[in-house]
Amino acid sequence: MQVKVFSDYDAMSKAVADMVAKQLAEKPDSLICFPSGDSPTGMLKHLVDAANNGDVDLSKCAFVGLDEWVGMDENDFGSCKYYLKHNLFDKLLTQPKEVTLFDAKAPDLEAECKRINKYIAAKGGLDMMIVGIGMNGHLGLNEPGTPFDLYAHPAELAPITIEVGQKYFKSETKLTGGITLGLRHLAESKIPVLIASGEKKAGIIAQSLEGEVCKDVPASILQTLQHAVILLDEPAASGLTKE
């Protein structure tokens, strides 16, 4: 894995957006996965600006969503679909060729996971998969204890995920479960990317990148991925001991 540290959040965000732009310049029909949450907001802003200025062409690429809260869709403030709609798709002058997101209201979530898995496989896998990291080391909604070899799957939410997840909603919201791409998708992605910012993430970043590789810390899988790229701002990297 390659770790890159930037002076601040905006510099890190610009670097991630530049990685996406480079990928699309080299392969315009790339399949890319974006997360939702606090970490990718700056990256999406830079990418939207670049696309609307004509510096990046999104018209031939395909996007697939990382995860979703069970029972929610784009009309639910705080949902992943709502986030991507308002921070990316609604702001683009030209839309991507394809957008495939989880239907977290589907009556059969296992079948929905199979649909997403089949879609990714038919595309030849993910060209780039960008993830943030939770305070417990989760990637997407792959919570502690999740096997590294799973593709998309329904997920039982850890208590801290339910607690921290409340920040995305206007009022206290019952979160009953999740649906997410799996850690195997990350491992098989041609370019797996982790982004993290802020001092509050320093501890889990250090544990994930320098601690034991185990399923109790899902993000520790990154230590096994030589092709992974980790982009951090200085506060998030402050707990690392290795150069």
- Active-site choice (127, 143, 153, 233): 143
**Assigned token pair, 219:** 């993000």
Is 138 in the active site?
A: yes
Burial (Cβ within 10 Å: 0-12, 13-18, ≥19) of residue 217: buried
Beta strands in the chain (DSSP E): 2-6, 31-34, 62-65, 67-69, 98-100, 128-131, 153-155, 178-180, 191-196, 229-233
Which helix (H) or strand (E) element contains residue 120?
Answer: helix 109-122
Cα(173)–Cα(170) distance, integer angstroms: 8
**Assigned token pair, 74:** 């784009």
Is 53 in the active site?
A: no
Is 143 in the active site?
A: yes
Identify the DSSP state of 217: S
- Active-site choice (46, 67, 68, 112): 67
Helix, strand, or coil (residue 193)? strand
User: How many residues are present in the chain?
Assistant: 243
Is 52 in the active site?
A: no
- Active-site choice (87, 112, 138, 233): 138
**Assigned token pair, 144:** 């502690």
- Active-site choice (46, 68, 87, 136): 136
Q: How many CB atoms lie within 10 A of CB 81?
A: 22
Catalytic residues: 67, 136, 138, 143
